[in-house]
Amino acid sequence: MSYLQALTPLSFCPSEADEKPLPLPPKKKASSVNILKRKKEQLLEMVEDFTHRNELLKRDIEMKRKLLDQQLAENLELKSKKQK
């Protein structure tokens, strides 16, 4: 081995693996906006569903109150007939 060879640093040609491709621009904004839109739509659908259920429950309660009032009136009528 000669003196020059020992002092010369090894040099390699850059390989394709060493060359790093440029990073792609982030696409998070577009996807996060879509996710937020989808989430908003889901929440609005849930609100509509709950509102509809609430209306159905209110009608059901109203019908049951009317039925209860009718039964109470009939019971009073039967009690008054029984006492006579």
Whether the pLDDT of residue 14 is over 70: the answer is: no
Give the DSSP H/E element, type plus range, for residue 30. helix 28-83
How far apart CA 40 and CA 32 sit, in angstroms, is 12
| Each residue's pLDDT tens digit, 23-80 | 776 666 678 889 999 999 999 999 999 999 999 999 999 999 999 999 999 999 999 9
Tell me, what's the pLDDT at 13? 64
What is the Cα gyration radius of the chain?
A: 41
Overall domain count for the chain: 1
SS3 state of residue 10: coil
Residue 50 lies in a domain: yes
Locate tokens 């259920």: which residue?
Answer: 53
How far apart CA 48 and CA 40 sit, in angstroms, is 12
pTM (predicted TM-score): 0.53
- Provide the residue range defining the domain that includes 77: 29-84
Residue 64 lies in a domain: yes
Tell me, what's the pLDDT at 17? 56
Residue 44 in tokens:
């609005």
Whether the pLDDT of residue 19 is over 80: the answer is: no
